[in-house]
């Protein structure tokens, strides 16, 4: 093959920081920056991204590329720039960043084109169809439904393909590319209360230019209503809107509200096929999608005309990706809004300390909603001192009485504990043997239906033995409480009350989960037992009691973020109580009723708690006051990761405050030993300079090895 003098530099989807140069064979046009190209790489053929044309320092003997896959920039200029920023900020290989952004279906050598659904339009022709009643019915259907319909809509309405073809053959309908008009469901739009009115007015003042706002509003204060009004405004101007939510399966009501209000809102959820995902991506890029609702990765969608980003429940940890490109969708949203010069709205009842500090320092506007919309009252909080109490499946006698009282008054009761399974440990009362995962060294959780010991880190399963595998003298017993056990205990105490258990084990089927939520919303007295899945965004109007079985663990953990996380969880789950006419109560069982963090949260509220936490972070020099990064290393061998991290520590002394090497919170997962180094710098610039030195050091002294894997996490979330 002869080649022209043209060359191209590409990023390949491999964990390599290097970029690679290729020549352009005669007959191929030089790709533009951002275009996908097929290149030979080793013995493989990869889809790479063009990052430079004719780089001045390219080698003279280069392999030719195989093909140019796009005429234009596949990402669009703005998203392409964001990719470069992501690679630098997270110190992640550019090729892998592009690989993360591209929908799976676009990583193959396919043309990126939008497929129009087959759509038919009624023409002005007439025909006598008295002898073809089915065809007549279809023509009538067109007349009554507005004249434009998609083939899928027709089939759903019961018209067979043959009938469609028959009337098309007579010229009564013709194919069209116009989309059928969507039905705008008449939904009741509430009149904003005075607080909402002020907040909305403040937001509308800053619709041009970068304007980040923290919408700090208690649960049920009408934040979603504010989003809807603001979006209405932007849609009227023809702008696109992106709404990020933590988990779509858990917030079907939020999505339904958007669809009701606007007739149409695209949703990026996990049930889409790769092809559907790509179609949504392309339509957003072309500007065909007005509102996109999605989880974390939706922040990496291209838009033609984005006018607003909303991050709902901005404190939620699911916005942080925990492997590969470890980005925070919330932080990327801020960067993107800044690049685009558009407003951004972070909404929550329990702001992350990061966002709260930004609001306090004036970088974000701090907008507050302090009352529940629609007049519902906030629940009252009570601590239940359980020192010296005997608990039955996690429930003290006073708590049983309180539950009984609420059920007797026709209320629903939500029992919260953050542990799924039956019991977190299974041990021998004679010799002390405990079931632990042979791959991870962590206790295995006992599950009852079906009976199994399951490792929650690597999902390894074993059958529980009826006699102790160590001494054989007694049968092991279940210690501690998981949701299955609490549910069993509650069912025994309240056999006539319907009970719904909601955790990751009970909600594997989405349909079943929806059925459960439907039943709960009917409002009959019922008990709901579940994990944090119950804390997120649900509106169960008849819950009058929220019982937290144990809040203590989170306030005395080694993880510096644990108090923040626990407080958010308590406030969020408490927010499920008393959302309608009847006031709610929150009861928290505790062995530490005087714990200052717990008392401050209960008596003074989240903001006061969070302000005290911020002061404590400030004193300790922790995020959000100083930026942090984490290096993790893992190997089957214990010595290797420690030696690797110790070497880094020595090389980087002086650049950072360094903690470790220390074992990762779960030291062994799937037979790999995991260690970590935490790096704290005085400012972002220092952090980035130090991380560049760290990468150079690794590149120089630690060649890629199959025995040792390492990763870098900038702004890590789970560190202890």
For residue 648, is it left (φ>0), alpha (ψ between -120 and 50) or beta? alpha
DSSP 3-state assignment of 107?
helix
Q: Is 259 in the site for ligand ADP (CB under 6 A)?
A: no
Asked if residue 219 binds ligand ADP (CB under 6 A), the reply is yes
Q: Site residues for Zn ion, window 444-473 (CB under 5 A)?
A: 455, 457-458, 460, 468, 470-471
Q: Distance of CA 106 to CAs 51, 274, 292, 327, 530, Å?
A: 17, 9, 19, 21, 39
**Residue 60, SS3 per DSSP:** coil
Among 122, 223, 565, 576, binds ligand ADP (CB under 6 A): 223
Please state, in angstroms and rounded to a whole number, the distance separating the CA atoms of residues 606 and 352: 11
The number of angstroms, rounded, from the C-alpha of 436 to the middle of its chain's C-alpha atoms is 30
Among 85, 89, 210, 430, binds Zn ion (CB under 5 A): 430
CA atoms within 13 A on the CB side of 155: 8
- Whose Cβ is closer to Zn ion: residue 474's or residue 522's? 474
Among 524, 500, 594, 498, CA closest to 555: 594
User: Using CB distances below 5 to 8 A depending on partner kind, what does residue 373 bind out of Zn ion, ligand ADP, none?
Assistant: ligand ADP
CB 195 within 8 A of CB 220: no
Binding-site size, ligand ADP (CB under 6 A): 16
Should residue 222 be labelled a site residue for ligand ADP when binding is judged by CB under 6 A?
yes
223 binds, among ligand ADP, Zn ion, none (CB under 5 to 8 A by kind): ligand ADP
- Indicate whether 251 belongs to the interface with ligand ADP (CB under 6 A): no
For residues 346 and 311, the answer to whether their CB atoms sit within 8 Å is: yes
Q: Which stretch binds ligand ADP (CB under 6 A): 218-226, 261-269, 288-296, 701-709?
A: 218-226
Q: Which does residue 221 touch among Zn ion, ligand ADP, none (CB within 5 to 8 A, set by kind)? A: ligand ADP
Distance CA 225, CA 247 (A): 19
Transcribe 562-604 into DSSP letters: HHHHHHHHHHHHHTTSS-SSS--EEEEEES-TT-HHHHHHHHH
By CB atoms closer than 10 A (0-12, 13-18, 19+), residue 289 is: buried
Stretch that binds ligand ADP, among 140-148, 223-231, 338-346, 542-550 (CB under 6 A): 223-231
Among 440, 551, 631, 642, binds Zn ion (CB under 5 A): 440
Stretch 556-575 residues interacting with ligand ADP (CB under 6 A): none
Tell me the closest approach of the beta carbon of residue 352 to ligand ADP, in angstroms.
17
Strands 543-548 and 412-416: parallel
With contacts defined by CB under 5 A, how many residues of the chain interact with Zn ion?
14
- Among the listed ranges 192-200, 266-274, 295-303, 321-329, the one in contact with ligand ADP (CB under 6 A) is 192-200
**Please, what is the minimum distance in Å from the beta carbon of residue 144 to ligand ADP?**
32
Nearer to Zn ion, 273 or 322 (CB): 322
Under the binding rule (CB under 5 A), the answer on residue 664 touching Zn ion is no
Nearest-approach distance from CB 458 to Zn ion, in angstroms: 3
Kindly tell me which of 370 and 474 has the beta carbon lying closer to ligand ADP.
370
Residue 455 touches which member of ligand ADP, Zn ion, none, C-beta under 5-8 Å by kind: Zn ion
Question: SS3 for 225-286, per residue?
Answer: HHHHHHHHHHHHCCCEEEEECCCHHHCHHHHHHHHHHHCCCEEECCCCCHHHHHHHHHHHHH
Q: What is the C-alpha radius of gyration for the chain, rounded to an integer number of angstroms?
A: 29
Which of residues 202 and 666 has its CB atom nearest to Zn ion in the complex? 666
Please spell the DSSP secondary structure of 382-395, one letter per residue. Answer: EEEE-TTPPPBTTB
Residues 6+ apart with CB under 8 A from 672: 634, 635, 636, 709
Q: Which of ligand ADP, Zn ion, none does residue 433 bind (CB under 5 to 8 Å by kind)?
A: Zn ion
Q: Does 192 bind ligand ADP (CB under 6 A)?
A: yes
- Of 423, 437, 534, 577, the residue at the interface with Zn ion (CB under 5 A) is 437
Told to check if 174 binds Zn ion by CB under 5 A, we report no
Among 23, 47, 73, 221, binds ligand ADP (CB under 6 A): 221
Using the contact rule CB under 5 A, the part of the chain among 336-344, 383-391, 437-445, 488-496 near Zn ion is 437-445
Tokens of 485: 């056990």
Of 45-53, 202-210, 220-228, 320-328, the segment contacting ligand ADP by CB under 6 A is 220-228
Which range touches ligand ADP (CB under 6 A), out of 144-152, 191-199, 510-518, 559-567? Answer: 191-199
Q: Is 224 in the site for ligand ADP (CB under 6 A)?
A: yes
Cβ nearer to ligand ADP, comparing 217 with 480: 217
Work out how close the CB of 350 gets to ligand ADP at its nearest, in angstroms, rounded to a whole number: 12
Q: E strands within 70-168?
A: 119-122, 148-150
Considering the complex, state which of residue 192 and residue 198 has its C-beta at the smaller distance from ligand ADP: 192
- As measured in angstroms, the least distance from the Cβ of 718 to Zn ion is 17
Helix (H, G, I), strand (E, B) or coil at 508: coil
Site for Zn ion in 503-532 (CB under 5 A): none
Say whether 665 sits in a helix, a strand or coil: strand
Give the dihedral sign, CA 306/312/314/316: negative
Report what 86 binds from ligand ADP, Zn ion, none; CB cut-off 5-8 Å by kind: none
**The entry of ligand ADP, Zn ion, none that residue 202 binds, CB within 5 to 8 Å by partner kind:** none
Nearer to Zn ion, 256 or 477 (CB): 477
Contact partner at residue 437 from Zn ion, ligand ADP, none, CB < 5 to 8 Å by partner kind:
Zn ion
The DSSP 8-state label assigned to residue 297 in this structure reads G
Side-chain half-sphere CA neighbours of 31 within 13 A = 30
Sign of the Cα torsion 644, 649, 652, 657 reads positive
Length of the chain (residues): 720
User: Which of residues 24 and 203 has its CB atom nearest to ligand ADP in the complex?
Assistant: 203
Token pair belonging to 327 = 């980005």
Q: Which of 13, 64, 217, 421 binds ligand ADP (CB under 6 A)?
A: 217
Q: Which is nearer to ligand ADP, 1 or 191 (CB)?
A: 191
**Is 225 near ligand ADP (CB under 6 A)?**
yes
Q: In the bound complex, what is the minimum distance in angstroms from residue 581's beta carbon to Zn ion?
A: 47
**Footprint on residues 532-551 left by ligand ADP (CB under 6 A):** 539
**Among residues 374, 498, 523, 605, the one that binds ligand ADP under rule CB under 6 A:** 374
Q: CB 70 → ligand ADP: shortest distance, Å?
A: 40
Residue 193: how many other CB atoms lie within 10 Å: 17
- Distance of alpha carbon 92 from alpha carbon 16, whole angstroms: 9
By C-alpha distance, which of 213, 198, 204 is closest to 364?
213
Instruction: From the list ligand ADP, Zn ion, none, pick the one residue 224 interacts with, judged by a Cβ distance below 5 to 8 Å according to partner type.
Output: ligand ADP
The only residue of 12, 428, 574, 640 in contact with Zn ion, by rule CB under 5 A: 428
CB 68 within 8 A of CB 6: no
92-98-101-106 Cα dihedral, nearest 10 degrees:
-150
Residues that bind Zn ion (CB under 5 A): 428, 430-431, 433, 437, 439-440, 455, 457-458, 460, 468, 470-471
Residues that bind ligand ADP (CB under 6 A): 190-193, 196, 217, 219-225, 373-374, 539
């Amino acid at each position: 093959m002869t080649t022209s003098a043209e060359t191209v530099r590409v990023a390949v989807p491999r964990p390599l920081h290097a970029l690679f140069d290729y020549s352009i064979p005669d007959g191929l046009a030089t790709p533009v920056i951002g275009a996908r190209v097929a290149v030979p790489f080793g013995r493989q053929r990869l889809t790479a991204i063009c990052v430079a044309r004719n780089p001045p320092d390219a080698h003279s003997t280069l392999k030719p590329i195989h093909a140019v896959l796009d005429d234009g920039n596949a990402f669009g200029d703005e998203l392409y720039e964001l990719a470069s920023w992501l690679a630098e900020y997270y110190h992640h290989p550019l090729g892998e960043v592009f690989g993360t952004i591209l929908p799976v279906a676009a990583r193959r050598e396919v043309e990126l084109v939008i497929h129009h659904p087959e759509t038919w339009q009624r023409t002005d022709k007439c025909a006598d169809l008295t002898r073809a009643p089915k065809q007549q019915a279809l023509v009538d259907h067109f007349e009554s439904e507005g004249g434009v319909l998609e083939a899928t809509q027709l089939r759903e309405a019961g018209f067979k393909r043959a009938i469609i073809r028959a009337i098309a053959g007579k010229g009564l309908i013709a194919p069209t590319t116009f989309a059928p008009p969507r039905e705008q469901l008449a939904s009741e739009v509430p009149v904003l209360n005075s607080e909402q009115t002020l907040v909305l007015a403040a937001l509308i003042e800053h619709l041009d230019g970068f304007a980040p706002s923290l919408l700090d509003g208690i649960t049920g204060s009408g934040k979603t209503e504010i989003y809807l009004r603001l979006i209405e405004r932007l849609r009227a101007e023809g702008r696109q809107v992106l709404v990020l939510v933590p988990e779509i399966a858990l917030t079907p009501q939020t999505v339904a509200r958007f669809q009701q209000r606007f007739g149409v809102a695209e949703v990026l959820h996990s049930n889409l096929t790769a092809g559907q995902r790509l179609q949504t991506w392309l339509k957003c890029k072309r500007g065909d999608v007005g509102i996109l609702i999605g989880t974390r990765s939706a922040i990496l969608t291209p838009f033609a005309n984005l006018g607003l980003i909303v991050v709902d429940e901005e404190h939620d940890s699911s916005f942080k990706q925990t492997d590969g490109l470890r980005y925070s969708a919330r932080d990327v949203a801020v960067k993107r809004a800044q690049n685009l010069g558009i407003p951004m709205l972070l909404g929550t009842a329990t702001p992350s300390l990061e966002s709260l500090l930004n609001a306090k320092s004036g970088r974000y506007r701090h907008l507050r909603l302090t009352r529940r919309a629609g007049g519902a009252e906030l629940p009252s909080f009570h601590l239940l001192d359980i020192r010296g109490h005997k608990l039955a499946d996690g429930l003290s006698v006073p708590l049983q009485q309180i539950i009984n009282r609420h059920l007797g008054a026709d209320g629903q009761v939500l029992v919260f504990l953050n542990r799924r399974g039956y019991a977190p440990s299974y041990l021998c009362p004679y010799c002390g043997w405990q079931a632990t995962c042979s791959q991870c060294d962590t206790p295995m959780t006992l599950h009852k239906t079906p009976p199994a010991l399951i490792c929650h880190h690597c999902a390894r399963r074993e059958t529980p033995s009826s006699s102790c595998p160590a001494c054989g003298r007694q049968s092991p017993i279940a210690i501690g409480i998981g949701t299955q056990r609490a549910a069993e205990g509650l069912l025994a105490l309240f056999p006539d009350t319907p009970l719904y258990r909601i955790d990751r084990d009970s909600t594997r089927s989405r349909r079943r989960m929806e059925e459960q939520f439907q039943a709960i919303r009917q409002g009959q007295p019922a008990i709901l037992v579940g994990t944090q899945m119950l804390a997120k965004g649900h509106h169960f109007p008849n819950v009058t009691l929220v019982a937290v079985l144990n809040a203590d663990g989170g306030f005395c953990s080694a993880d510096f973020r644990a108090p923040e996380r626990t407080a958010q969880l308590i406030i969020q789950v408490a927010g499920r109580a008393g959302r309608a006419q009847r006031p709610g109560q929150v009861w928290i069982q505790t062995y530490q009723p005087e714990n200052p963090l717990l008392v401050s949260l209960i008596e003074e509220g989240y903001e006061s708690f969070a302000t005290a936490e911020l002061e404590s972070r400030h004193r300790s020099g922790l995020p959000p006051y100083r930026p942090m990064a984490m290096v993790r290393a893992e190997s089957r061998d214990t010595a290797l990761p420690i030696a690797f991290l110790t070497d880094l520590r020595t090389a980087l002394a002086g650049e950072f405050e360094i903690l470790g090497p220390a074992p990762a919170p779960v030291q062994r997962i799937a037979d790999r030993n995991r260690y970590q180094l935490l790096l704290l710098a005085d400012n972002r610039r220092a952090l980035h300079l130090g991380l560049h030195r760290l990468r150079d050091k690794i590149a120089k002294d630690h060649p890629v090895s199959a025995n040792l894997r390492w990763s870098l996490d900038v702004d890590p979330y789970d560190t202890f």
